[in-house]
A and B are shown apart, each in its own frame.
Chain A
Amino acid sequence: MSNKNAMINRYAWYETIAIYAGIAVFMIFVLAPFVEGFLVSLKPLSRLFSSPYKFWPENGSFDAYFTMWDSVPGFGRYVFNSIFISTVATVIVLLLVVPAAYAFARFRFTGRGPLLGAFLAVNMFSGAVLIIPLFRLMRSMGILNTYAAMIVPGVAFLIPTAIWLLRTYMLRIPKELEEAAYADGASRIYTFRRVILPLAMPGITVVAITTFIGAYAQQFIYALTFNSKTEYMPLPIGLFAYFGRQEVIWNELMAASFVGIAPAMIVIFFLQRYLVNGLTAGAVK
């Protein structure tokens, strides 16, 4: 960052304050629920409804993180289900989208424009709007109450965004590289494997991350409607188990939420290291 002190990056002190104030408002808004949730997870259940309400936990502990496994014995399974569903959905999406995005980026075929438009239009419906028809479809296919019931609609609604994302990335790969490979005798498949795929890797990683997060987030609605078997339940449904008949075990619920998010965060943390910028440097010019 040699241009950190470039003239264009200089601000007066009041501008700096205004910028940080703006960021602060936004960050507080986004992060406050997490902070509150984390603090709740540290409090003993009996102190939660103490009056006056104390923001900072007194004699807080991580007990809830241990007792939660006993209150809901199947919790580990729910976390696994969530990751399993998201991972399978991501793999299927990538297998379908990478060749599709390449075709949309490079080949001219009848209906390319309308097809892309249709994908964008599908994006405007969330799966929730189509839940009844999807249910009927799923029932006639006989895959209700299976993993497939949560994976298939998930994949279907994640594909359009993924295609648009990856197509845009692939358009940036210089066409001359393919022409050069063609002139050197390489087939389409060979060029795709040896030239296009390695260069599209950062784009594919971005698509993998967004798809994984998308799959993780959208499971709730599908799991709620298309699955009634406890052993296939993903995390969001599993959290309902902490809503007891008498009371809600809030501190364990919060602890469970954080434990449930953790695997996804770890995956994202590791994947983002592959978001290497400027991999195409030196290709042309």
Chain B
Amino acid sequence: MGQLYLNKVTKSFGDVEVIKGVTLDIKNGEFVVFVGPSGCGKSTLLRMIAGLDDVSKGDIVIDGEKVNELPPVKRGIAMVFQSYALYPHMSVFENIAFPLRVEKMPEDELKAKVDGVAKVLQLDQRLQQKPGALSGGQRQRVAIGRAIVREPKIFLFDEPLSNLDAALRADMRLELTKLHHDLAATMIYVTHDQVEAMTMADRIVVLNGGFIAQTGRPLELYHKPQNKFVASFIGNPKMNFLPATCTSVGDDGATVTCEGQTLTVPVETRANLVGKQLTLGIRPEHCHLAKGEVKLKITPSVVERLGINTIVYYNEGTDDAFSALLPGAAPVAVDQPATIGFNAEDCHLFMGNGEALERRTELHEIDLSQLTGE
């Protein structure tokens, strides 16, 4: 069992509070990703769960037992560090065997376990080499091997892929997802890379400035962000924001004027909305060339052609660039005026304090009944 409960956990360094009260329930076998910008406290939170940093206030509970004062081993966790932290003077075998040597496990049992782990991670040809002779991906696997050989209840990963190049990162992402499936253990994974978060997580915890900004399934965060921060953090290129004013509310949502045009966005409304200054959010991938209920005239300042897509940036008169993700062959060019349009149903609306008005969109689970079974 690897069930983790954080109860109003805070962490202060001197006068500075970096974790400002985090409450979170993680189920056994779940793959949870902590994501957020640099300095949001995600690594600190992980180190507190690991038992490397102490907790200022609040409780960390694993399988019903409060573990605040317990060392890492007694908590039943294993951690994979960003820098791998391999012992350079020991062979791969000894690196993986290290936790078992600490336990003083009998030699033959130890050897069987290490060999088993090495086989799973395809390191069986490398056991006698030193970490210095391995590639980045192999070192990463040794670090993971050292974690799984102890069969912990909870795995903690601290940005384990950030030192790898892009191609290797994609491979390791698949391997980790597979590993999670095979081990069926609870995993907590810290990253600043939203692609890793979206692809690997059962549940994402977005942290911002020591608070949880939102917790939810990846697609929930994408389609129904609860605030402006999550909306702009999830998705790439990030969401565009335009000022808007609410003119009326009705059964079909809030009617707003934006860029001199009127549209009705299907959101849950609330009292006293009429006349308020709101922010309208629209994702670049929901912008189209020359069609849509709302149209904007823009003059692209940068055009990036990626082959499959073309990204257009326009940053006149606004602080943030407005961007649109268009088809690869979209007829746009720098300094050539173009019309970008989008539909009201794709829009998000945010209050002045950044809080989102919940969108009236059904979150569709992937429909497995469509499997043809061929």
Contacts and interface: CB of A to CB of B under 8 A. Distances in A.
Interface size class of A (residues with CB under 8 A): 20 to 34
B73 A185 contact: yes
B52 A177 contact: no
B39 interface: no
Interface string B69-106: 00111000111010111111100000000110011000
Interface of A: 174, 176-177, 179-186, 190, 194-195, 198-199, 278-285
B236 interface: no
Contact of B132 (A179, A183, A185, A281): A281
Contacts of A185: 71-73, 99, 102-103
Nearest to B84: A284
B133 interface: yes
Given A283-B84, A284-B83, 19 more contacts: A174-B85, A176-B83, A177-B85, A180-B79, A183-B51, A183-B52, A183-B78, A184-B73, A184-B78, A185-B103, A186-B98, A194-B87, A195-B87, A279-B88, A282-B88, A282-B133, A282-B134, A284-B85, A284-B86
A174 to B, nearest CB: 7
Interface of B: 50-52, 71-73, 77-79, 81, 83-89, 98-99, 102-103, 130-134, 136, 139, 146, 150, 163
A279 B89 CA distance: 7
Contacts of A199: 88-89
B81 A282 contact: no
25 contacts: A176-B83, A179-B81, A180-B81, A181-B98, A181-B102, A183-B51, A184-B72, A184-B78, A184-B146, A184-B150, A185-B73, A185-B102, A185-B103, A186-B102, A190-B102, A194-B98, A279-B88, A279-B89, A281-B132, A282-B88, A282-B133, A282-B134, A283-B85, A283-B88, A285-B163
Nearest to B87: A195
| Residue of A177, A195, A283 most packed against chain B (CB within 10 A) | A283
Nearest to A181: B98
A182 B52 contact: yes
Contacts of B130: 282
B85 to A, nearest CB: 4
A176 B132 contact: no
A198 B89 contact: yes
B43 to A, nearest CB: 12
A190 to B, nearest CB: 7
